[in-house]
């Protein structure tokens, strides 16, 4: 009976090793594909996080520059579509004073990550542009909201991760427990 248990345990162990090796090979292949895609993409397509763009704008505005000059300077400092859109907004706003027309066309023509950043910038700088009030408190409030939303998202994902890790672990230990503890106990009771 113990020989059968040892043989079944060896078969189960071999199956787990083979399946984990196949999964590892698959992950390596996916990583290699992602790495190749990332290296082929240009550095200019990398988007800067929204909070960093807002921090740069806050620093520029607190140093005494105008909204237009701040948009232009931050747009020149960052790469990607967001930087180009900020410079374009500064250029268009210098010609016209229609805040909604300028930002509406820029936000709709941008990609999703750039559009989210541009929408945040638009919302933060609307009152300073239209009413001439200080922008720093509004920018800080927006940064706090974005950080809070990101923290909440991370907490939700980490709680799902603990459940996702517990189920496979339990499924791995249950057969081992049956083979090591339950089956020998039943065999000892019968024989």
The pLDDT tens digits of the residues spanning 143-176 come to 999 999 999 999 999 888 888 888 888 888 888 8
Instruction: Give the residue among 77, 114, 111, 75 at the shortest CA–CA distance from 93.
Output: 75
Lookup: tokens for 33: 């594909």
| φ, ψ of residue 49 in degrees (nearest 5) | -60, 150
Residue 26, pLDDT > 60, answer: no
Q: What is the mean pLDDT of residues 73-86?
A: 89
Residues 114, 78: Cα–Cα separation, whole Å: 12
- Alpha-carbon span 106 to 86, nearest angstrom: 9
Enter the pTM of the model: 0.62
Q: How far apart are CA 84 and CA 86, in angstroms?
A: 5
| pLDDT at 7 (0 to 100) | 58
How many Cα atoms occupy the beta-carbon half-sphere of 9 within 13 Å?
Answer: 16
- What lies within 8 Å, CB to CB, of 77 at 6+ separation is 56, 83
Task: Break the chain into its structural domains and give their ranges.
Answer: 1-39, 48-129
HSE-up of residue 130 (Cα within 13 Å, Cβ side): 9
Q: Classify burial at 45, counting beta carbons within 10 Å of its beta carbon; exposed 0-12, middle 13-18, buried 19 or more.
A: exposed
Where is average pLDDT lowest: 23-32, 128-137, 173-182? 23-32
Give the range with max mean pLDDT: 42-56, 134-148, 160-174: 134-148
Closest CA relative to residue 6, chosen from 177, 189, 179, 185: 179
């Amino acid at each position: 009976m113990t020989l059968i248990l040892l043989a079944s345990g060896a078969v189960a162990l071999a199956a787990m090793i083979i399946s984990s090796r196949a999964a590892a090979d698959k992950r390596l292949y996916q990583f290699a594909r992602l790495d190749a895609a990332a290296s082929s993409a240009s550095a200019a397509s990398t988007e800067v996080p929204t909070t960093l763009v807002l921090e740069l704008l806050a620093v520029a505005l607190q140093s005494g520059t105008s909204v237009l000059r701040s948009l232009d300077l931050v747009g020149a400092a960052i790469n990607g579509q967001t930087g180009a859109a900020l410079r374009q907004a500064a250029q268009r706003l210098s010609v016209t004073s229609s805040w909604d027309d300028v930002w509406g066309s820029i936000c709709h023509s941008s990609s999703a990550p750039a559009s989210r950043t541009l929408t945040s910038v638009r919302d933060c700088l609307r009152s300073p542009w239209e009413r001439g009030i200080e922008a720093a408190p509004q920018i800080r409030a927006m940064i706090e909201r974005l950080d809070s939303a990101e923290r909440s998202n991370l907490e939700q994902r980490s709680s799902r991760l603990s459940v996702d890790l517990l189920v496979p672990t339990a499924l791995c230990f249950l057969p081992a427990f049956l083979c090591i503890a339950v089956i020998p106990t039943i065999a000892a009771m019968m024989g």
